[in-house]
Amino acid sequence: MTTPDGSDDGARPLTAYRDAPNRSIVAGGVTYAYRELGPAGGVPVVFFVHLAANLDNWDPRIIDAIAQERHVIAFDNRGVGGSTGTVPDTIEAMAADAVTFIRALGHDQVDIFAFSLGGMVAQTLVLEHPDLVRRLVLTGTGPKGGKDMDKVARTTYYDIVRATLTRSDPKEFLFFNRDATGKQAARAFIRRLKERTTDRDRDVSIPAFRTQLKAIRAYGRSTPADLSTITQPTLIANGDHDRMVPSVLSHDLHRRIQGSELIIYPDSGHGGIFQFHQEFAAAAVNFLGPA
């Protein structure tokens, strides 16, 4: 008999993300695709993924480390990857869908681990449903109305063209510096993302990607949210040279979320947590603590 975390009764829980089975649940007329691993029970850690990303875009070195001690859930929001429906054109609607998914699984409280676009969704969710969130990890992201947040689309398209011309994965340009260290980290990261060889997720469609960019642009041009109301313990992390979501916005989040912790990794970009995955995984595990 298989348990909800993917392990067999009497066996150790599954802690390797590459082996986590694909699952689905229907809520609000949408079939949400997700994977879960780690020991069942307690408050789960729900992962909110980045722009143009699906279930296969999480760094296994980070998610596996957290799953050693915690129940981990990664999911595709509406219209993304294996989830049905149409991608919402606002961050607020994405947050509402995330709440629908979490509650459909029967959870009344979660910890959230979010990266980039996922961090924008997570901020909105915690402001609107503070009782649902216990701890918050915000990486490579920025606040609503943050300086130059609306330029994400321009940077993204520019780096996609650069990647196309060199037959590279766009994440090599978007997430990492183009020096020798950054290029090496980028190649290692892309290799890790390919460790799962079966039952991979559906690619994110071009219309879905464009709608996500539209939502980010609107979020960046909106009136700033009052982040002083966030009282949950919050860990913020980024590289010191994030071209996609400028690193200054991580400092802005830190100033505006009282009591938050900030980690800035040197000589790294948007994917600083992936370049320094060993150090960051240990920091995240320590911050999230027991279930």
pLDDT in tens, 209-266: 999 999 999 999 999 999 999 999 999 999 999 999 999 999 999 999 999 999 999 9
Q: What is the reported pLDDT for 1? A: 32
Q: What is the reported pLDDT for 2? A: 40
Q: What is the reported pLDDT for 252? A: 97
- pLDDT greater than 70 at residue 8: no
Region 49-55: mean pLDDT is 97
Is the separation of the CB atoms in 243 and 269 below 8 Å?
yes
* 3-state secondary structure labels for all residues of 116-168: CHHHHHHHHHHHHCHHHEEEEEEECCCCCCCCCHHHHHHHHHHHHHHHHHCCC
Region 15-37: mean pLDDT is 97
Q: CA 174 to CA 17: how far, in whole Å?
A: 24
- pLDDT greater than 60 at residue 9: no
Order of strands across the sheet with 261-265? 23-27, 30-37, 72-75, 45-48, 110-115, 133-139, 234-239, 261-265
C-alpha distances (whole Å) from 167 to each of 114, 187, 229, 273 are 28, 13, 45, 24
Region 34-40: mean pLDDT is 97
Is the separation of the CB atoms in 17 and 196 below 8 Å?
yes
The region of weakest confidence among 1-5, 59-63, 171-175 is: 1-5
pTM given for the model: 0.94
Q: CA 272 to CA 237: how far, in whole Å?
A: 8
The token duo for 188 is 């290692």
- The DSSP code for 203 is P
Region 139-168: mean pLDDT is 90
pLDDT in tens, 103-121: 999 999 999 999 999 999 9
Percent of the chain scoring above 90 in pLDDT:
88
Q: CA 201 to CA 18: how far, in whole Å?
A: 12
Reported as type and span, the H/E element at residue 72 is strand 72-75
Q: How far does the chain reach from its first CA to its final CA, in angstroms? A: 24
Q: What is the reported pLDDT for 165? A: 87
- pLDDT greater than 50 at residue 21: yes
CATH of 17-288, one of 2.40.30.130, 3.40.50.450, 2.70.70.10, 3.40.50.1820: 3.40.50.1820
- Domain boundaries in the chain? 17-288
Predicted confidence band of residue 138 (pLDDT cuts 50, 70, 90): very high
Predicted confidence band of residue 6 (pLDDT cuts 50, 70, 90): low
Identify the CA nearest to 284 among candidates 126, 72, 93: 72
Reduced to 3 states, what is the DSSP secondary structure of residue 231?
coil
- pLDDT greater than 90 at residue 12: no
Tell me the pairing of strands 234-239 and 261-265.
Answer: parallel
Is the separation of the CB atoms in 78 and 85 below 8 Å?
yes
